[in-house]
Amino acid sequence: MEQPLLLMTLGVLFLGGLVADQIGRYTRLPRVTLLLLLGLAVGPAGLGLLPDASAQWFAPISDVALTMVAFLLGGELTRENLARHGRAISAISLSVVLATTAIVWAGLSLMGMDPRLALLLGAIATATDPAAIADVIRQSGIRNGFSETLNGIVAIDDVWGLIVFSICLALVDQSGGWAGPLIGAGRDIGGAVLLGAIIGVPSAYLTGRLKAGEPLQTEAIGVVFLTAGLAIWLEVSFLVAGMTAGALIANLARHHARAFHEIENIEWPFMLLFFVLAGASLEVEALRSLGWIALAYMALRIVSRVVGGEIGERIGGVPPAQAHAFGPALMPQAGVAVGMALVAAETLPEWEAVIMTLTIAATVFFEIVGPPATYFALRHVSRGR
């Protein structure tokens, strides 16, 4: 019975995702939010319609979907894009990460939380959800300087976030010395960059030869799956590996007319399942368990994104039409934050309950309200041009 149940469940999820996509087109609500709400409705927190085995699907599907997103975001880091928006991408991404860490840490500390725990939560709050932001941009159909800069920011801000998190973890946890977290972060990011280069450089020259101008669909699937699988096996960041490979292919493959056209064509079914299963995995009860602390944490993250965006915009010299838009556009938060929380909880088990509950609660909130904030920021800038 397991195989028929699996096929029927996938069929219903695909059709439900299609309905959510159409509702999004008519209402202009981000389909990411609609798919997450669909997942909540059919998951354990809602009607409980998904089979128990569906929880095991989430990890491989999310790995493949997010690696595809990483390739596409890396493809935005071309010489031309960086020449136009490089200053803004660097300034805003760093400013938002540092402001988020500082403001969340200071706010929670002033409310009576242990400053060490508050510092870890501030570092975890730096993570964004590149998949949600990329899909909102794609759904909006808006392609301008703001969307290009935003794509560049979400391609690298989680790298800064992982570095800051590792430094904060080293500051808080002195039982194993300074070296452990920093070496782990260096291995994760450095190894991923090396893996991305090993895959990206030959792919730039070898793909797109059988059919002039762009890689075949089979080539695109093969490169994505190979990158995701090797990154997981080597225990390095598949996001950074995919982004590195994507950036190298986009910059080196001059014979490609559209290096990632085929990834765009095959990405949506994986993304649909990813968002529905992500919604099904969210624990709404986590929102209630910490009460005002959860509300304060989420409010501080909102304030910090806005403040960090404002500072980064001034340093980055963005056009006036894009002012005040980057902070709200960077609200979505998902998988990377949960990964950071798991590492922190494992290192400091005495705070495990608070760290995991608060991170999951924030994920529920920002995955639902974040994509609309990104969409409205895109529309705001587009109307102001």
Q: Is residue 4 part of a domain?
A: no
Q: Is residue 16 part of a domain?
A: no
Q: Is residue 23 part of a domain?
A: no
What's the structural domain count of the chain? 1
Q: Is residue 40 part of a domain?
A: no
Q: pLDDT tens digit string along 195-219?
A: 989 998 888 777 666 555 555 677 7
CATH number, domain containing residue 344: 1.20.1530.20
Q: Is residue 333 part of a domain?
A: yes
Q: pLDDT tens digit string along 273-295?
A: 777 777 776 666 655 666 788 88
> Would you mind telling me the total number of residues written for the chain in this entry?
385
Could you identify the residue written with the tokens 């590492």? 343
Coil, helix or strand at residue 333: coil
What mean pLDDT is predicted for residues 244-269? 71
Domain range for 216: 53-278+287-384
pTM beyond cutoff 0.75: no
Q: Is residue 197 part of a domain?
A: yes
Phi, psi of 174 (to 5 degrees): -100, 0
pLDDT at 305: 93
Percent of the chain with pLDDT over 90: 11
CA nearest 310: which of 92, 84, 127, 157?
92
What mean pLDDT is predicted for residues 20-47? 73
What gap in Å lies between CA 108 and CA 115, rounded to an integer? 8
320, pLDDT greater than 70: yes
Q: Give 173-177's long-range contacts (Cβ < 8 A, gap of 24+).
A: 173/347, 173/348
Q: Is residue 149 part of a domain?
A: yes
Q: Is residue 15 part of a domain?
A: no
With a CB cutoff of 8 Å and minimum separation 6, the contacts of 4 are: none
With a CB cutoff of 8 Å and minimum separation 6, the contacts of 328 are: 305, 306, 309, 373, 374, 376, 377
Highest mean pLDDT among 124-133, 156-165, 179-188, 357-366: 124-133
pLDDT at 1: 45
